[in-house]
Amino acid sequence: MGRISTAFDRLRSENRKAFVAYIMAGDPDLETSLEVMRGLPEAGVDIIELGVPFTDPMADGGTIQLAGQRALAGGQTLARTLDMVRRFRADDPDTPIVLMGYYNPIYNRGVETFLKDASEAGVDGLIVVDLPPEEDSELCLPALAAGLDFIRLTTPTTDDARLPTVMQNTSGFVYYVSITGITGAAEADPQAVAPDVERIQTASGLPVVVGFGVKTPQNAEAIASVADGVVVGSAIVAKIAEGKPVPEVLDFVSSLSDGAHRA
């Protein structure tokens, strides 16, 4: 089994929910973001979601967009992001890492080259938000063949007619977007989320983690109580944007993971 499946098996055996933390690679600079990344597992993070900066991040709200701009201005590239993963893996062989981003940088590098480099670096899964299932032959199927999980986003507007198509080549887990909109928007509502999570669990047979609109330990606990896990991104990235010292950022992450693990 891969690291993602192993992590969810371990969490199930411990009767705990997954806490997934997102940071942008290279924000505010390469070394600081690597220092934060290295501290995430000890802060209670079960899966790391590492953003790949891109010039046209259509699914991201202002907080993540600005993080990407800072990273790009500092010279962050897909190659440097993969190098971050390699450096992280030198000390941590176990924590799953999912790259989240857009297809253009991967296409630019070449799918075959990217998948080879990502696998060798220690990447476990991909979330590519601008490739629909109709384009699975572009990246999804080659990624699965290379041993990388391909994780889909589902939303409140993914109805029963569309869901089987979205799920057909999904692996690892399903990322449920709790709100209609962009990252960092309104707070997620667990009562509204619960029925869709159950519907997607049934359709996919995979763990379902919920992201977008999760900002506080209390909200993380509430959302995790109705799902298999919770993702927090913008709230963590905002702390980095404020220039908080790394230990303070990681303390905040610990408070969120404590909330998720209480569920």
Q: Catalytic residue, from 29, 31, 35, 60: name it.
A: 60
- Residue pair 212/64 in contact by the 8 Å Cβ criterion: no
Q: Active-site residue 134, yes or no?
A: no
Q: How far apart are the first and last CA of the chain?
A: 26
In the structure encoding, which two tokens stand for residue 103, read together?
């297809």
- Residue pair 229/260 in contact by the 8 Å Cβ criterion: yes
The CA angle 195-191-213, to the nearest 5 degrees, is 105
Q: Active-site residue 60, yes or no?
A: yes
DSSP helix/strand/coil, 71 = helix
Q: Report DSSP state, residue 62.
A: H
Identify which of 21, 30, 47, 38 has the alpha carbon closest to the alpha carbon of residue 88: 38
- Residue whose structure tokens are 């202002």: 62
Which ranges of the chain does DSSP label H, i.e. alpha helix? 3-13, 30-39, 62-73, 78-89, 103-109, 111-121, 140-145, 163-167, 190-204, 217-224, 234-241, 246-262
Q: Catalytic residue, from 49, 117, 124, 196: name it.
A: 49
> Which active-site residues does the annotation give?
49, 60
